Structure 1
Amino acid sequence: MTTSIIPALENFYDVTPQNQDLGSGYCTLLWRRGKLLVKPPGGVKLPYLASLNNQRSLVECLKHSPINLVSIDAKLGEGLLQFWADACEQAHKPIFLRISASNKQLKQGNQTWKWLQRTIDWIVAFSLLLLLSPVILGLIVLMQIYSPESLFCYEWRVGERGRLFRAMRFSSTVNYNITPLGRWMHKYSLNNLPLLFNVLRGDMNLLGSRSWTLADAIQLIEEEYRIQNTEFRNLSVQ
């Protein structure tokens, strides 16, 4: 196992007050059998890596490393999670949000039914895309008329076992919210139709466990930490 720390890369994402609470502004990196663990700084002084203060450097390091996947701690905050997720995407390295085995909402479902559920999800998503393809094409044409600049928006979401993936939606809620088209699409959730492509890719499910936004996933994990700490303190008192 190898350990190092790098600067927290604050220049590339707005650092929120909760992220500033990390104090020293450094990440602790732990290599374990091809897995890179990205954690908040600990109390022990550790050797520094060469400064990786831009995304290009981080991407190049990830590309040329033997790392198979990245596991990142939710305590680093949404800004750093996005930064690392973007870098891992460019380096073609999977990234997972670190979760405990007791987390029932983010952990993987029952493996016995996993294959069957995946098959049903794929068939249903493919059928819906075929059925709704005229609607999707019509929306694309209408959106091109209103604003040809951007049709889709992408956001990081957390799937099973904490895996981060890009969820694709029509950008109606961003660019068209004040127009009749945007309000109509948002009312009937038509902006979510491209998520069917994520289902085909296996990023998310139509059945079973849902996916979470980064903010919601962080909140779930923090709530779990609070519950565990409370239970530990209660046991200590007893």
Structure 2
Amino acid sequence: MIRALDIVISSVALFCLAPLLMLTAAIVYFADPGPILFGQRRIGRGGKMFRCLKFRSMVMDAEARLTKILAESPEARAEWALDQKLKVDPRITPIGRFLRMSSIDELPQLWNVLRGDMSIVGPRPIVEAEAVRYGRYIVNYSSVRPGITGLWQVSGRNNVCYRRRVALDVAYARSQSLGLNVKILLMTVPSVLMARGSY
């Protein structure tokens, strides 16, 4: 049932949002010429790796800049070690900052949902380097498809510490149901509008 709803919702959303997707693609390209989409290897259901899509929100040499920032700033290294995030990230383009705050950068993941890599609702997809932080709970994470939205996203996103994020992912995996998914979807709307923890 959940997979069937994923297919219906992602198909309808891609069709209805096509003008916004095309407009965003054009803005991303003209604001900072280069690839429109950014694909990163993430861990999916059963430990299978997939390419998680987003509208590109960073400069072209983002990885090189990150290496330089972490090498030169102990404060940045400490912040990155906590959550793999920088609250004030100089790699993000001006339009990229807006895309992240509005969560529009996540819309290409509807294609991941249609393909079966992701679900509309589920744990936030993680990169391989983060798996160690889940410890034995990686089994719970891998038991479901990662989602575009989920308990972490509606609970404050980046304002939530990583340990709490793991706990939320485990709680979702252990109690996944259609009812819970509907509740999370309804909570997603105000979370996105208020941009809680988005950066």
User: TM (normalized to structure 2)?
Assistant: 0.49
More strand by share: 1
Larger Rg: 1
Q: Which protein, 1 or 2, shows the higher relative CO under an 8 Å CA cutoff with sep ≥ 6?
A: 2
